[in-house]
Chain A
Amino acid sequence: MSSVQINPKLIEMALKAWANGSSAAHSAAERAGAPVRFVSFFQEQVAQELRQVPAGALDGAWQPVLQSQFQNGKAEHRAVSALYFAYFHPLARLRRVTELADSIPVSTRQFQRYLNQGYAWLAVQLTQAEQTANEKRRASLRRFIPEPEYKTLFGVSDLAQKAVGLLGLGALDGGTGMLSLEGLGGIGKTAIAHEVALASLENDRLAGICWVSARQEWINALGELKALVPASRTTHDLLTRLAEQLGIRAVEMNERMDALRSVLSAAVYLVVVDNLETVEDPQFLLPVLASIRGESRILLTSRHSLAHFPYVQTIPVPELSLENSQGLLKDELQRLAAGGITDDQIREIYQLIGGLPLALKLVAAQLAVLPYQLVLDGLRSADRHTQDTLYTYIYQRSWALLSQPARQLLVSMVDADPDGETIDWLGLMCGLQGGDFEHALQQLMNLRLMEKTGAFDHPLYQIHRITASFLSTNLRSKWEAG
């Protein structure tokens, strides 16, 4: 029942239908949008308002109890008492209004006024309860959506709207079942998926939103962050985590698959599978997802195109335009209190690194510390033939800017949960104390090598996946050489 439908008349109709007790009345109440179980809610509200249900339920002496309730001076209390005796008191309920009024005594019209006030009071209680329930619902829908990596988004909303439209998430009728956001690493695919998920919170018919990231570095025991587990196992892990989010704890795989199919078919969910490129063989995963999804929608993000899967529709995610890149760079510099960059200077940087949001953020952080010309010359001298070498150059430059404690902290984060850790844990594991630790943390944050995520009162700190790749590449190259 939506809040616009709740009014005193409806409450009165529902209570009367319930009080009559016939099956026809139950059906009428249910049709009117007031299922009988609301009566329990009403009863609880009334009992709570009266502090306790008045005594005298079993000995038949209800009239003195009713009189004593009406001696209370507050109008609201009288209204609630009127409801209680008219509908819930085991001996008084179902008696005529005249009889109840006489026993107080007040006029029948006055008692009816109290009752009307009572209906209005219950309508308010129900509306408030519904609002609380809606807030809970939104919180429940949000719980698996990770915190955004970007606080201010540039060039995302149009693509997010397009994705919402293609997935049919606006009205949940029609639309494609599986959609892939595709583009270079660090280009903002996750940010778009995040926007899609947030936009879907408004959809009343969506039963839930799941978010699983395909990154599985933390299970790799060879000192590498890149996923090396077999494709089938990655699929297994992904489906396990999806099942957990859907409340399925069955351990046996066949049971789990049956339950997944059943749940995803019984209602419409939005399932986001982020970073699909780390799944070594999507040929294995995608048909499974397609076969179990029912009417639910699957949103994928991937560096590689999935256009060859006939049941997957794709949206290529381009680099940011110059205009959006300007917005992002200025926003980042403002955050670091390092304004003053001109549009021409931004254009020069854009020509060198393009519209890769992560690269722009890292460079903006360097610009807050180093002279513009030095950064620009460095970018010009770097090997920019591929995205990887561009990032390697940028990360090496950031590394060089770090103090020794900051390096120590960054290195220790290789062994931390990729989805983020608490500040206490990071402090414990990096071995830094007090001011050293705080300065190191601040420096990593300023240089955008560390991101703050999680809830406001329980923040977590993590390194971006591409940053982690850079670190692991350095680690691996050294070990392989040594």
Chain B
Amino acid sequence: MSDVQPGMSGTAGEFANLYRRGLLERLRTAEQFVRQHEEHPQQIRAHLRSLLTLAGHAGWEPEASALWTSLTDRLHPYPLLWGYADAWENHLRAALTAWDNRQPDFLAARLQSYLVETLYFSHKPQEALDLAGQALSSARLGRNLVALARVAQLVARIDYDRSEVDASNRTLADAETQIKSLCTDADSALEQIALAILWMQKAEIMRFLGDVRGALELYGQVVGVLVDFPGEDILSRPQFWLLAGEALESRGVLLWARGEYARASHDLDQASGLYQRLADRLRQASVLANLGLVYWKTCQFDRAEAFQLQSIAIREEQNAQDSLARVMGDLGMVYFLRGKLDQAVHYVEVQGELARQFGDERAARLAHANLCGMRVFQGRGDQVVAEMERLLAGSRQRSIEHELGVMLDLMPCYWFLGRTGEAVQAARRIVAIAEELKEGLPGVMVPALRGLALTQPVDEARLTLVKALELAREYEREFDRAACLLSLAGLSAGDEAQELWCEGLARMKEMGSLPWVEGRTPADPPFLPLVV
């Protein structure tokens, strides 16, 4: 213990010396810590605020520059993914100011590209564009191909976000030319990586312009470089895991929209793994929810439920309440098709409450419409029919797809209420809409025909259901397939009825949807919901 003397004028000096002596050592230790825990970024996340504090304090110290840069490389883009974008922006700005003109262009370009990305991520596109010119210039001077590609990609994305597709394409083309002209033989691997970064945005533009096949091909090339490229050290940086995750996620969603569910789930699964590796819980939650939708579409309701529940758990753990509404509604729809109506209603009600709480009118409207549809199957159609008619009037002003969505709930509602004439009219309208949309929505004719059969005399209904069953097989719509079998059992007799019933029952069991058939018999089959 030190002697205690009044008048400790040397305290400040002693303290400052002690601090400065330890600073480099702490920086070195921190850099090693991050490097050691890259496979378990939760450890890094647990100490991110301290790492940012340390990096912030060391940014001014010239002797610390090499270690500081290495730490910054290792940390980027974690702060953006973990809710510290503002702090990271301040950190990068302060360092770039403190080191003004004292860095090689190659390094300056890298830091500037991080800052452009941070600004874009923070929804400050104009500030990102303001800095982008300088960053591109540094990248060209320092021959930093990856920084050049990343900044150009972000500029192109901002143009695209502003609906300036031509400008976006021009930016990408210019950058591609520059990368090729700057590249030497020794840089060929880096060139491939840089080009892949540009192609991500190019693929997005192609998708927007309707060239889905071209977009998928380009995403394939991006994935080939960023995910499957062997032995490139630079790809071990977390920023490339993020890019790879984004490419896989984009391709997965595109495949899902095309009905290529097996490939979609493969890509989304891989994307989920990459986001997990980055400890980016919110992106992971989003991908899991999309996986849930894929399995919902393929009627694997156990898996759909499990993925939606995982997604909800992550969002709740991350306190991302404002993103919960959609996934709660999706889970409600899973329970709906499983026949667990109370649970379905519960989750859709929660969806509505959350949407209203956070001012998300679109989600609130969707929840309301779905709730009405569920009430019909709870035997409470009398309470919601007027509301559904109001929704129908509103939907007609939006789009034919919206109209179809409401009609598929309203038609059975009319039928159950004994409003036969209106049910027949609605069923015919649904078929007409399905005819119009069948190119873009393959398989939509199946629920349309099921609805129509409900309103037809037995013989006609049987023919309609047989046709619907064939289409359901063709488009692998398992829920509709089971529904057709059960309905056909109700229109048949004897062994045939029993056979159809058993086959339908087996399919319902496989999907985990047995509650729909509890208490029912071949003579009194359930009518299952019509979904797009």
Contacts and interface: CB of A to CB of B under 8 A. Distances in A.
B155 to A, nearest CB: 19
Nearest to A251: B123
Contacts, number: 186
Interface stretch (A67-75, A332-340, A425-433): A425-433
Contacts of A221: 56-57, 59-60, 90-91, 94-95, 98
Contacts of A374: 4
Interface stretch (A6-14, A299-307, A350-358, A407-415): A407-415
Contacts of A252: 123
Contacts of B26: 412, 415, 429, 431
Interface stretch (B226-234, B244-252, B375-383, B474-482): B375-383
Interface stretch (B104-112, B268-276, B354-362): B354-362
B316 to A, nearest CB: 9
A475 B357 contact: no
Contacts of A245: 319
B420 interface: no
A248 interface: yes
B2 A400 contact: yes
Interface in A206-221: 217-221
Interface string A358-383: 00000000000010001000100100
B123 A37 contact: no
A264 to B, nearest CB: 10
B12 A474 contact: yes
B8 interface: yes
Contact of A220 (B12, B56, B517): B56
Contacts of A414: 19, 57
B29 interface: yes
Interface stretch (A147-155, A163-171, A232-240, A318-326): A232-240
A223 to B, nearest CB: 5
A218 B23 contact: no
Given A381-B6, A411-B18, A477 B90 contact: no
Interface residues of B, number: 72
B49 A431 contact: no
A411 B19 contact: yes
A479 B16 CA distance: 8
Contact of B320 (A247, A381, A408, A421): A247
B142 to A, nearest CB: 23
B86 interface: yes
B334 to A, nearest CB: 15
B84 to A, nearest CB: 9
A268 B343 CA distance: 28
B53 A26 contact: no
A442 interface: no
A248 B322 contact: yes
Interface residues of A, number: 77
A401 B519 contact: no
B74 interface: no
Contact of B90 (A229, A418, A422, A429): A229
Contacts of B3: 400
B383 A23 contact: yes
A460 to B, nearest CB: 11
Contacts of A403: 1-2
Interface in B181-235: none
A431 B323 contact: no
Contacts of B52: 218-219
Contacts of A237: 86
Interface of B: 1-6, 8, 11-19, 22-23, 25-26, 29-30, 33, 46-47, 49-50, 52-54, 56-57, 59-61, 83, 85-87, 90-91, 94-95, 98, 121-123, 282, 318-324, 342-343, 345-346, 356-359, 379-380, 382-383, 505, 514, 517-519
Interface of A: 21, 23, 26, 36-37, 39-40, 43, 57-58, 90-91, 217-223, 229, 233, 236-237, 240, 244-253, 258-259, 261-263, 266-267, 370, 374, 378, 381, 396-397, 399-403, 407-408, 411-412, 414-419, 421-422, 425, 428-431, 471, 473-475, 477-479, 482
